[in-house]
Amino acid sequence: MAKIKSQNPSTGKELQSYDLHTSEEVSSIIDNANKTYRNYKRTTYAERAIKMNRVADLLEERKLSYAETMTLEMGKTINSAIAEVEKCAWVCRFYAEHAEQFLADELVDSDASKSMISFRPLGIILAVMPWNYPFWQVFRFAAPALMAGNVGLLKHASNVPQSALNIEEVFRDAGFPKYAFSSLLIKSDAVEAVLNNPKVMAATLTGSGPAGSAVASQSGSQIKKTVLELGGSDPYLVLEDADIDHAASQCRQSRLLNAGQSCIGAKRFIVLDEVYDQFLRKFTEEMQSAMMGDPMTDVDLGPMARYDLRDEVHQQVVDSVSKGAKLVIGGYIPDSDGAYYPPTILVDVQEGMPAYNEEIFGPVASVIRVKDEDEAIRVANDTEFGLGACVFTQDVERGERIAKYELEAGCCFVNQYVKSDPRLPFGGIKTSGYGRELSYYGIREFVNVKTVYIK
């Protein structure tokens, strides 16, 4: 029988393997999820909130165990993995508290005796999720979806099956019905059949552009809604009046977060000529000071999630250098076990290089010199992506103007690296996707916005 494997990227050793679900087992899970939905949609927000708060309690109680699983499966440092589980508890509590308010009926004046907008669940929602944040990516979908009265199916990345099963476990242990949230142990080529099932009503995907395109195309052919959060090549603008020490520290944190494997991690650092040398010097010091090593210890970055992903990043660096970019630090594959890649800085990066045009999903920074603010904005927007962006300036009004009006991205920050927050909508534009997760907007993505007219 076909297997799905969990492998430690620090050592290359297999941790665990699981039998893939057969097509018959998948159909049975979907049927049972649909039956569960018929009853679950009639529960009250208060009943759902009790269970969702219990999920948060269990996440906090088990955070070390779940964090260790993430670290072993995909190399995330243990400290960041613990923080990830804690953030999942936060999003559960947030929607437990606010879902009823976010989805309250809205009365509308019309020629009816009474007319309103009511927000009702859709049914089974399929989530196709990536490996880089094995818990957080799932919970920021699952918490609002289940609080809205939907039920969830998870097709997680193939290299994190233990995390997928842990998440199913915590919902079940918290008292949710058995099939309110189910993990499907299937390969990517089996997703199409799930989307074709008429009982599956919508889909959300976080991942690569090609994966998003495939799911959106298939869902579109079935007239099913999708929400996509895809890649990014986030620009960070460092203006001439920036606090350079602060900017360099924030840029380093964003670029090395999760060993550089973050859609909203800083990728391109666009620096005005007046402060370029100063910033590059400080930024290089910051990157060089990062400790790389065993992710179970107190280090800044561990290995990348898989050897093939590490090799792909290295090839992008090699190709950029062959086209004229220059290495400041890093840019080599260490002579040691594990899928490690060191903090790397490239300069003299220009259009036509992978370091300029592509998303580099690893700890590689592209530093680009520009002459003024207008050129910085042009270069920032000169990308197919539009997920996050950041500007550093001590003139807060200037920063707000650039973030609000000039930068073409879904999440634009000033003097703080880009991050997600349950209270704020999250998502992108252009090939970074569409739709929003989190906040008031996220919970309304997978509901029937229903008009009710009474005469």
Which domains does the chain carry?
3-230+430-454 (3.40.605.10), 234-414 (3.40.309.10)
Provide the annotated active-site residues: 229, 263
Contact yes or no for 420/82 (Cβ under 8 A): no
Neighbours of 397 (CB within 10 A): 9
Q: For residue 2, what pLDDT is reported?
A: 82
SS3 content of the chain, % helix, strand, coil (to 5): 45, 20, 35
Q: Is the dihedral of CA 126, 180, 17, 308 positive or negative?
A: positive
Q: In 3-state terms, what secondary structure has residue 162?
A: helix
Cα–Cα distance for residue pair 409/267, rounded to 1 Å:
14
Cα–Cα distance for residue pair 228/222, rounded to 1 Å:
16
Cα–Cα distance for residue pair 98/96, rounded to 1 Å:
6
Q: Does the predicted model carry a pTM greater than 0.75?
A: yes
Q: Which two tokens stand for residue 430?
A: 């252009």
What lies within 8 Å, CB to CB, of 115 at 6+ separation is 107, 108, 109, 451, 452, 453, 454
Q: For residue 301, what pLDDT is reported?
A: 96
Q: For residue 437, what pLDDT is reported?
A: 98
Cα–Cα distance for residue pair 298/80, rounded to 1 Å:
10
- Helix or strand (DSSP H, E) at 63: helix 63-74
Neighbours of 65 (CB within 10 A): 10
Neighbours of 92 (CB within 10 A): 32
Cα–Cα distance for residue pair 331/312, rounded to 1 Å:
12
Q: Which two tokens stand for residue 13?
A: 């050793």
Burial class (CB in 10 A: 0-12, 13-18, 19+), 415: middle
Q: What is the DSSP letter of 419?
A: -
Cα–Cα distance for residue pair 351/288, rounded to 1 Å:
26
Stretches where the chain sits below pLDDT 50 are none
Contact yes or no for 235/378 (Cβ under 8 A): no
Contact yes or no for 144/443 (Cβ under 8 A): yes
Name the residue among 185, 211, 76, 176 with its Cα closest to residue 134: 76
